[in-house]
Structure 1
Amino acid sequence: MHARSAAWLLSLIIAGAAAWGYTIVTSEFDAAGAPRALCFVVIGAAGVLSIFLFPHLKQGRTLQLAIWLPAISLRILLLPAAPSDDVSRYLWEGQLVNEGMSPYAQTADSESVRAYRDAQWALMNHKDQPTAYPPLSELSFAVVAQVAYHSLAFKLLFVFADLLTLAAVLRLLQLRGIALQYSGFYALSPIILIAYAGEGHFDALMVAALAWGVWAAADGREKLSSFLVAMATGVKWISLPLLPFVIWGNEQSKEGGVFAIWTALRQRSPHLFIALLTLIFPALYFWESLPALFEGLFRFGGTRSFNGPVYDIMLLGLNLPRAVCSSLVIGLLAVVCLWRWSLRGRCTLDAHVRWILGVLIVLSPTVHFWYLGWVLPFVCLRPSLPWIILSLTSGLYFLVWSNEIWGLSVWQRWGLWSPFFLALIYEIWSTRGRVMFPIRRTLGESVTISIIIPTLNIVDKLEGALSCVAQQTLQPIEIICVDAGSSDGTVALAKANALPVSVIESEQGRGQQIATGIAAASGSWVCILHADALLSPQALECLDRSVSVDPEVCGGALGQRFADNHAELLPIEVLNDGRALFSRTAFGDQVQFFHRMTALRHQLMPAQPLMEDVESSWRLRETSGFVFMNQPCEVCHRSWNASEWFTRFRLVMSLVSRYRFARLRSRGQAEALSHSLYREYYKCGK
């Protein structure tokens, strides 16, 4: 068995053992929290590691099985865990609806429903609080309770919805040409596994409808998208701010004022009608008692709080009145929604979903760990270090069961939230804020790709590089070999090839050669292929799909795997993937690509002999969107031989670190340093 496959299987076995361990220690819902937190973190760490260790499989049934089998197995292992006390409320309120009573008409401890008190009622929490679940949720509870008055029935329904969400995520990743294993950030997350299979929270229904609604919008099925996002809102109110983006998000009227509003309403009236009908129809069943629902919403959102990072700082740190805290977070959320609204039509729907739901989670007075499941399906489309970290540290949530008083201490809350905010600060700092305000291309422009190959005495490798381009399912419009004075027949080989290859000359230095090639290219996109790298047959097709969908993307990298499967090379591959994904820094052998006009306008490719790949990555992330697609090419491992593995690793880390410190001072100092680093690098032997 290959080292990568063996390591991947081992990580999944560890995740499975931790999932079963969680089930064992959670025979009761109020079981001690420390063992549960430990199992949570182990599941999460092993799950994330398995994504980076995912075997290099061809598209097809084997790849799908490698994603679905671990996801289903982990959920089965967690099904026997004790359900949340929320499930008892679902069951009991579903029974009330089946008996023709409205759960909004009274609280659970009311004397009018004494006759319905049973074992599930006894397990319920907050019996004195009015319910805040929307009508569609209550009708769903009634259907399940009618079929089987047991918590397992709800768990099975929610796991089914959860797997539907995974299917939607896979569709979206495929639509964008991004690696399907990124779905693991959702499918293998302990938040998702424990929230739905373990505890049985109904949020799975909302997330499934929302994920498929985003897919429908991406696939051009706008009316279906309006229906599904309205369904999500009908299950849980937090999707409500997203509805306008689905109904009117792509409308960019050239008119102004009242006429523009009237035109938009008229054009999108079918979508609005579908959304309103979806929301209103279930509410008719509870029409007489429906006003009490709004009291429940107010009581839940305005009189209680738990683990809300921003809300707690205002309420407990600044001692502001609760009404003031609630007003401030509502105002902040409104500002974010207006900001995203100003970007409608220029961003994908999933980008709006990530921002709005993410900000809603951070600003919410109450944040339970399963709330993070709202945003994780969409994190898969653009993996983000802050959210991945939070999906691990949120295991501290379970310490509430070990504390003397139900709740988290100040230090526990700091441990849960501070890594997230530190990673968020790094992400904003490293991109100079462009993660929030990237330069956007015009969506819908034709995608044409030019391949640029920098050459210098590589006749023995160039034929393989050209051959892999010839095998692409989507052909480039041109191949440009930028030669720096080869004397071994490289130029003759390039000119004799049957492909549309042109050869131009440049000064020596890879950065200079690539910059010359970008200036000479005629494609709207340029893909930088090193002569010792072999693209997978679908590489350019995946690139085309990715950049055609998302106007924020102006560059990125495909990925890299070594030709030989030696165990000592696996850490290098994992580190390279992690660096490219989370720090937006790619090496040249990971096959960089750029939007040509953006690259020229902002001088993304520096004319320097070494670190041109690192520097261009940093310039790109400081300018616009970067995507690491993880569609790896195959590269030679000769410079990473086992006997000198550590020496080379130390050399590369030293060079990159020194360049990083110089870059912190100025671009000029970093460029000057690159020349001495170049001499040191090749003196030690590449």
Structure 2
Amino acid sequence: MRHIAWLITLLLAGLAAGGYALATPQFDAAGGPRVFCYFIIGLTGLLSVFLFPRFKSQRGILAAIWIPALVLRVLLLPTAVSDDVSRYLWEGRLVSEGLSPYAQTADAEALRAYRDAQWAQMNHKDQPTAYPPLAELLFAAVASVAYHPLAFKLFFLLADCATLAGLLRLLRLRGLAPQYSGFYALSPVVLIAYAGEGHFDALMVAALVWGLWAAAVGREKLSMVLVSVATGVKWIALPLLPLYLFASPSCRQAGAGPVAALWALVRQRSPYLLLAVLTLLLPALYFWESLPALFEGLFRFGGTRSFNGPVYDVLLLGLGWSRALCSAIVIAVFAGICFWRWCARERSSLDAQARWILGALIVLSPTVHFWYLAWILPFVCLRPSLPWILLSLSSSVYFFVWSNDTWGLTASQRGVFWLPFGLALLYEFWSTRGRVMFPAKRPVDEAVTVSIVIPTLNVLTPLKQALHSVAAQSLPASEIICVDAGSQDGTLAYVAQHTLPVRVIESERGRGQQIAAGIAAASGSWVCVLHADAVLAPQALAQIKAAVAADPRVCGGALGQRFEQAQVELLPIEVLNDARALFSRTAFGDQVQFFHRETALRGQLMPEQPLMEDVESSWRLRETGGFLFLNQPCEVCHRSWEASQWLTRFCLVMRLVSRYRFARLSSRAAAEALSRSMYQEYYSTSLPASKPK
């Protein structure tokens, strides 16, 4: 059933992509159909990520990612290109013929002989170009091969595909679900920006993603060259240069404070600085005599106009402040964010730094076109974020600019564009108690060892499969702890005779109490909580190790869950569970939670309560700012969700969670008291006898 639902969403996405291409024979075609098709592509693409089926081989997984991504791009190729492509073509032609696009504006009389159809379609002919030298040389190379917009589209699509390939490598390195790449590959922002309109930002993004991969595997020189190439293609990558320079663990230990660390960077990383300078300087030498005009172009494009900037528009239009003052404010705020991220370098992963810098650039920029969102989406795949994913959908209203009386968005349209993003940001800040900005610290230099804690109470039959899955792990557990609450069915005898060395401790009844006792008794640096009726995937512990080693902010999270028997009724439950864990950072115990042991003990992340211990521990964990959902599903028993009672059970769970949520708004103590009163209500329903209570 999951395969069928997934294929249906992809079919709808394909129809919407084809519809968008048909609705856009000219770049300025009416916006209504484009808005509709854009939104449908986004919605169905998002659903396909959550409906991604299980495949038996890595080859099947990659085919299921690449084939839809390529098909959607091919369907959008007939879309009319942006008028920016005309500038790429025309300026590329100038450079290939030995002229500098910086020497004069496009409407200069000296260039009259070069006016052609592409020149006629260019925008802002009276403005100097703002593209960096490396970008101009690349434009010249493509224009020399084929002086046609399709040549540029295909070139940028190659870079787009390179980004997807780099993302898949990074996701695998980090133990994350490969289908997270769909937040990029199937996003209408990316599809229409590159396959549809042909924007050259794809080159910068590909260089940044592969630079991140190079840093992750220790190829620091290659990483430095790639981020310098990204900067040479588009100036907005410039603030990332020092952060990529500082990605090396050896360099992180060079100085305690920001000034000392900066001096250490210059002193110790001088070879890498030289690589960066050469990468940026060599293309500039080709335009040396006319290069000063580039700065005029940057100022004219960045400082004299604005469109759809959420912060800038509020200052300029809402408060009526001067453009100079608005520009000074957003520059000062951005500089502060850059300094803050520099100070946070030791406790943040490089992709987190990129998200903050690129996100700040988008939000603070005076001008925000829809394709700017493509800058950040690859990094969102590595840490999925509800605000940015919502923005990739609500940005569909951008295309009303072609239907309005004057080019631009109305106040209400700008509200639709930005309001979901803003509300989701507020939710993230509220739900994490601000820790999304200032995550808790945890040791990052320790060896990652994983203890498995299994709460048991008369679970002999399902426990056999659970322990078998533990024995089959590619990364062996450092220890296995069975926390028993008085089993009478032979569970303890079976554990004592098992080939695995299982340590048994006793606890009072209640999963919260049992798990808390197991965490306290564990010796591993991390604890994986496995319910007795769940089965770990063979790579589960290795994926946990990869994920937590890659991101020093992670203090815990969940793996994911699939029912052992595929049923139509259970599919919505699986999808909702995944979406809740990903976007609200709330996991159920069946999704196999894991915790950094020291942080769990210090913050009392696991409450000693009989019910809702999984929900409460998730909320406490997200309040550290360190919750991560891997979406690497493990198999769980489906018997309590049989077709005859799944809806009743679903309503019961939602009602209890809602009641608990309202009690939690009052205090932790009120929620714990409610948990105890709800215990009998929950277990009075017909649950399998093997489920521990």
- Same-fold call, TM cutoff 0.5: yes
Residue by residue, what CA displacement relative to the aligned partner does 1:221-271 show, whole Å, maximum 9, x if unpaired?
111111000000000000000001111344232477987654432210010
Q: Deviations over 1:473-509 (max 9, x none)?
A: 1110111110001111111111110101011100000
Q: Does 1:95 align with 2:93?
A: yes
Q: Is the contact between residue 249 and residue 341 of structure 1 (CA under 8 Å) also seen in structure 2? A: no
Moved more, 339-348 or 14-23: 339-348
What secondary structure does 2:644 align onto? helix
Distance 1:59 1:445, change over 3 A: farther
Shift of 1:642: 1.1
Q: 1:440, 1:624 within 8 Å by CA — same for their partners in 2?
A: no
**Other-structure match for 1:638:** 639
1:166 aligns with 2:167: no
Task: Report 1:22-37 matches (<5 A).
Answer: 22-37=20-35
CA distance in structure 2 between the aligned counterparts of 1:545 and 1:404, rounded to whole angstroms: 53
Q: What amino acid does structure 2 have at the position aligned with 1:575?
A: L
CA distance 1:365–1:261, change in 2 (3 Å): closer
Q: Which residue of 1 aligns with 2:465?
A: 464
Aligned partner of 1:112 in structure 2 is 110
Cα gap change, 1:209/1:667 in structure 2, threshold over 3 Å: closer, same or farther? same
Q: Secondary structure at the match of 1:316?
A: helix
**Mapped contact 2:16–2:38 kept (Cα < 8 A):** yes
Mapped to 1, the partners of 2:582 and 2:656 lie a distance apart of 21
Contact in 1 for aligned 2:45/2:186 (Cα 8 Å):
yes
Q: Identity of counterpart residues, as a percentage?
A: 70
Are the equivalent residues in 2 in contact too, given 1:15–1:46 (CA < 8 A)? yes
The answer to whether the 8 Å contact 2:255/2:264 transfers is no
Give the alignment of 1:371-382 within 5 angstroms.
371-382=372-383
8 A contact 2:190–2:371 mirrored in 1 = yes
For the residue of structure 2 that corresponds to 1:634, the secondary structure is strand
d(CA) in 2 for partners of 1:657 and 1:262? 53
Q: In structure 1, give the amino acid aligned to 2:120.
A: A
Distance in 1, matches of 2:444 and 2:241, equals 22
> C-alpha offsets along residues 142-163 of structure 1, whole Å, 9 cap, x if unaligned?
0000000000000000000000
Looking at structure 1, the residues matched to 608 and 493 of structure 2 have their Cα atoms a distance apart, in angstroms, of 26
Aligned to 2:488: 487
Which residue in the other structure is 1:624 paired with? 625
Match of 1:419 in 2: 420
The answer as to 2:13 corresponding to 1:50 is: no
Superposed displacement of residue 624, structure 1: 3.2
8 Å contact from structure 2 (residues 212, 351) kept in 1: yes
Q: Give the structure 1 partner of residue 217 of structure 2.
A: 219
Q: Distance in 2 between matches of 1:503 and 1:166?
A: 46
For the residue of structure 2 that corresponds to 1:450, the secondary structure is strand
Alignment of 1:401-550 (within 5 A): 401-550=402-551
Distance 1:299 1:347 in 2: 35
The verdict on how the C-alpha distance between 1:418 and 1:292 changes in structure 2, with shifts beyond 3 A counting, is same
Would you say the 8 A contact 2:106–2:125 is kept in 1?
yes
Q: How does 1:116-135 map to 2 (within 5 A)?
A: 116-135=114-133
Displacement of 1:5 after TM fit?
0.3
What is the SS of the residue equivalent to 1:642?
coil
The CA deviation at 1:313 is 0.2
Asked whether the equivalents of residues 444 and 548 of structure 1 are also in contact (C-alpha less than 8 Å), the reply is no
CA distance in 2, matches of 1:638, 1:276: 63
Equivalent-residue separation in structure 2 for 1:172 and 1:261 (angstroms) = 28
Cα distance between partner residues in 2 of 1:113 and 1:602: 68
Give the distance between the partners of 2:625 and 2:601, measured in 1 at CA.
13
8 Å CA contact 2:437–2:625 kept in 1: the answer is no
Residue 683 of structure 1 and its aligned partner are, at CA, apart by 1.1
| C-alpha distance in structure 2 between counterparts of 1:455 and 1:264, whole Å | 53
Closer, same or farther in 2 for the Cα pair 1:272/1:53, shift >3 Å?
Answer: same
Question: Do the aligned residues in 2 keep the contact of 1:78 with 1:193 (CA within 8 Å)?
Answer: yes
2:231 corresponds, among 230, 233, 239, to: 233
User: CA distance change for structure 1 residues 597 and 59 in 2, over 3 Å: closer, same or farther?
Assistant: farther
Is 2:455–2:515's contact at 8 Å kept on the other side of the alignment?
yes
Q: 1:629 to 1:9 in 2, by over 3 A?
A: same
Residue 175 of structure 1 corresponds to 173
Cα displacement (A) at 1:623? 1.4
CA distance in 1, matches of 2:321, 2:483: 64
- 1:320 corresponds in structure 2 to 321
Paired amino acid for 1:70: P
2: CA distance between counterparts of 1:39 and 1:369?
15
Report if the CA contact (8 A) 1:209-1:232 is conserved. yes
Note if contact 1:472-1:539 (Cα within 8 Å) is conserved in structure 2.
yes
Indicate the residue corresponding to 1:198 in structure 2.
196
Is the Cα–Cα contact under 8 Å of residues 137 and 235 in structure 1 kept in the other structure? yes
Q: Which runs of 5+ in 2 are unaligned?
A: 688-693
Alignment CA distance shift 1:258-1:187 (3 Å): closer
Paired residue type of 1:675? R
Indicate yes or no: 2:566 matched with 1:565. yes
Q: Are 1:443 and 1:549, in contact at CA under 8 Å, matched by a contact in 2?
A: no
Q: CA deviation at 1:218?
A: 1.1
Cα shift at 1:444: 2.9
User: Cα deviation per residue 1:640-671 (whole Å; 9 max; x = unaligned)?
Assistant: 11111211111000000000000000000000
Give the match's secondary structure for 1:121: helix
Amino acid at match of 1:670: A
Question: Is contact 2:258-2:342 (8 Å) kept?
Answer: no
Equivalence for 1:150: 148
Q: Deviations over 1:292-315 (max 9, x none)?
A: 000000001100100000000000
Query: Once structures 1 and 2 are overlaid, which stretch shifts more, 674-683 or 228-237?
Result: 674-683
Q: In 1, distance between residues paired with 2:332 and 2:425?
A: 21
* 8 Å Cα contact 1:440/1:552 also seen in 2: yes
CA distance in 1, matches of 2:40, 2:385: 20
- The alignment partner of 1:502 has SS state of strand
1:676 deviates by 1.3
Residue identity opposite 1:564 in structure 2 = Q
1:213/1:229 contact within 8 Å kept: yes
Q: 1:59 to 1:344 in 2, by over 3 A?
A: farther
TM-score of the aligned structures, taking structure 1 as reference length: 0.99
